[in-house]
Amino acid sequence: MADKQSQLNVGGEAFDFPVLEGSTGPDVVDIRKLYGSTGKFTFDPGYKSTASCESALTYIDGAEGILLHRGYPIGQLAEQSSFMEVCYLMLNGELPQQQELDDFSWTISRHTMLHEQLASFYKGFRRDAHPMAIMCGVVGALSAFYHDSTDISDPEHRKISSHRLIAKMPTIAAMAYKFSIGQPFMYPDNSLSYTGNFLRMTFGVPAERYEVVPAVEKAMDRIFILHADHEQNASTSTVRLAGSSGANPFACIAAGIACLWGPAHGGANESALNMLREIGTPDRIPHYIERAKDKNDPFRLMGFGHRVYKNYDPRATVMQKTVREVFEALNVTDPVFETALQLEEMALNDPYFQEKKLFPNVDFYSGVILSAIGFPTTMFTALFALARTVGWVAQWNEMISDPGQVIGRPRQLYTGPTQRDYVPVDQR
Ligand code: CMC
């Protein structure tokens, strides 16, 4: 950290504040003492100009369309790595040696089963419950079962609960799907890879042997990598805020899942495919582009635009390529992909989208792939939650390990009534 200073003029008086430098990216003005020195708060709803924490996990350069995990570009990780390797990297800071990767994968595979009583939770839901509703409930309930890993001040407890969450999330998500279609739950098969095991638990049935299709396994693993972490997004900030009070990790991740569900965040993949299906054929695209531009119409192009990226989301590039690979491997096609390609092209050539720097994001193409693999749209966000769990637990661990960590407690600009006296009901 450099000892640069920034002078701010507040109410006609000059105050000096330290400027902190990260390893890359914009400097930050440290205003922690602003209120104490000036009696004033900053106002930044949506945190458009506020860094809420220090983090060494993920770096995004939105203008250039760069995403790095622990310094490694997402494109390289997606092409050359595996989700297990990325999980290790996120949790430990460095890429593993082969033995470390084998040990880590083995450890994760030893935590894939759920406590048998958790299966009865599913039966309490309606069959048509959204998988995200089930995920919020079941993940939150894990804290009632794994008391031996909820002492957050103990690094070993934190490690075990992190492993448990990463390992159990595929089982929980697959069970949510199985419940919705009335098929028996499939127990994990630890001889398979993390992703192969998830595919079997989702699409396999006890009556038949399930063959994992290597190309689908690879594509799915890559989709998990693309969703592993994304800096201080809404759900990650939710996990951090929940965790800042000392809440246990299972409760914190359940809070993250709840936040991710929204259509402006993880729910956008479901909304994007629904939108593409509603558009149907390329000749209807101009109508939807006009609607997206109309200030009086709440419609937005789902899978387009991003708070941080003002350039092509690098994850969308990989996603688009993966669509083609999956179609080829499964020998399928989907007219919705053609609609998506043409919608992208028309939007990128439209001055509205150019001026506002709106580009496809990770969710624009992910639904097309997931649908080709066989997932119903309601499962899309659950898959996002599964993959993002590693980011959430890594961020949560980083926060708890930080000796300077304090409870998150934003302030406000109060606009309600000033103090007044209570009037009894018969005198109002
Ligand atoms: N379609 C049409 N107009 C848009 C869109 C869009 N998808 N996104 C932003 N705009 C316009 C918006 O109306 C605003 O216009 P103006 O300045 O005239 O008021 C301007 O662009 C800036 O938008 P904003 O809402 O202030 O930007 P934001 O940073 O607050 O929101 C966003 C980012 C992702 C919520 C938004 O772009 C959006 O709603 N996109 C569609 C939903 C979506 O795809 N979400 C997935 C995000 S990536 C996955 C994830 O991180 O979960």
Q: Render pLDDT for 319-378 as a digit per residue (tens, 0 to 9).
A: 999 999 999 989 998 999 999 999 999 999 999 999 999 999 999 999 999 999 999 999
Q: Where are the beta strands (DSSP E) in 256-361?
A: none
Burial (CB < 10 A; 0-12, 13-18, 19+), residue 58, is buried
CB atoms within 10 A of CB 165: 24
Q: Where are the beta strands (DSSP E) in 132-288?
A: none
Q: In ligand 1, which atom is closest to the CA atom of 304?
A: 7
DSSP string spanning 258-280? Answer: HHHTSTTTTTHHHHHHHHHHHH-
Q: Is 315 in the pocket of ligand 1 (CB under 6 A)?
A: no
Q: In ligand 1, which atom is closest to the CA atom of 352?
A: 3
CA dist., res. 218 & res. 202, Å (int): 16
Helix (H, G, I), strand (E, B) or coil at 190: coil
pLDDT at 148: 87
The reply to whether 306 belongs to the active site is yes
CA dist., res. 392 & res. 400, Å (int): 12
Q: Is 300 in the pocket of ligand 1 (CB under 6 A)?
A: yes
Q: In ligand 1, which atom is closest to the CA atom of 364?
A: 44
pLDDT at 223: 96
Ligand 1 center to residue 384 CA distance, Å? Answer: 19
CA dist., res. 117 & res. 124, Å (int): 12
> Closest residue (by CA) to atom 29 of ligand 1?
307
Q: For 173-189, how does the pLDDT look when each residue is reduced to its tens digit (9 = 90+)?
A: 999 999 999 999 999 99
The residue annotated as part of the active site, out of 306, 350, 402, 421, is 306
> Closest residue (by CA) to atom 19 of ligand 1?
295
CA dist., res. 91 & res. 101, Å (int): 12
Ligand 1 center to residue 306 CA distance, Å? Answer: 6
**Dihedral pair phi/psi, residue 411, rounded to 5°:** -105, -170
Residue 90 corresponds to which tokens in the numbers above? 């996120």
pLDDT at 1: 47
Percent of the chain surpassing pLDDT 70? 100
Ligand 1 center to residue 75 CA distance, Å? Answer: 24
pLDDT at residue 107 greater than cutoff 60:
yes
The sign of the dihedral angle between the CA atoms of 267, 268, 269, 274 is positive
> Closest residue (by CA) to atom 9 of ligand 1?
305
CA dist., res. 370 & res. 348, Å (int): 24
Q: In ligand 1, which atom is closest to the CA atom of 266?
A: 52
The residue annotated as part of the active site, out of 363, 402, 421, 426, is 363
pLDDT at 174: 98
CA dist., res. 57 & res. 205, Å (int): 38
Q: Is 227 in the pocket of ligand 1 (CB under 6 A)?
A: no
CB atoms within 10 A of CB 268: 27
**Residue written as tokens 């409930």?**
137
Strands 13-20 vs 58-61: parallel, antiparallel or unpaired: unpaired
Distances in whole angstroms, Cα of residue 420 to Cα of each of 133, 397, 413, 416, 417? 42, 45, 19, 11, 8
Ligand 1 center to residue 358 CA distance, Å? Answer: 8
Going by C-alpha positions, the residue among 267, 271, 360 that lies closest to residue 311 is 360
pLDDT at 149: 84
Residue 151 corresponds to which tokens in the numbers above? 């002492």
> Closest residue (by CA) to atom 35 of ligand 1?
264
CA dist., res. 192 & res. 171, Å (int): 13
Q: What is the mean pLDDT of residues 248-255?
A: 97
Q: Quick check: pTM over 0.95?
A: no
Going by C-alpha positions, the residue among 227, 192, 228 that lies closest to residue 213 is 192
pLDDT at 249: 96
Residue 411 corresponds to which tokens in the numbers above? 């302030």
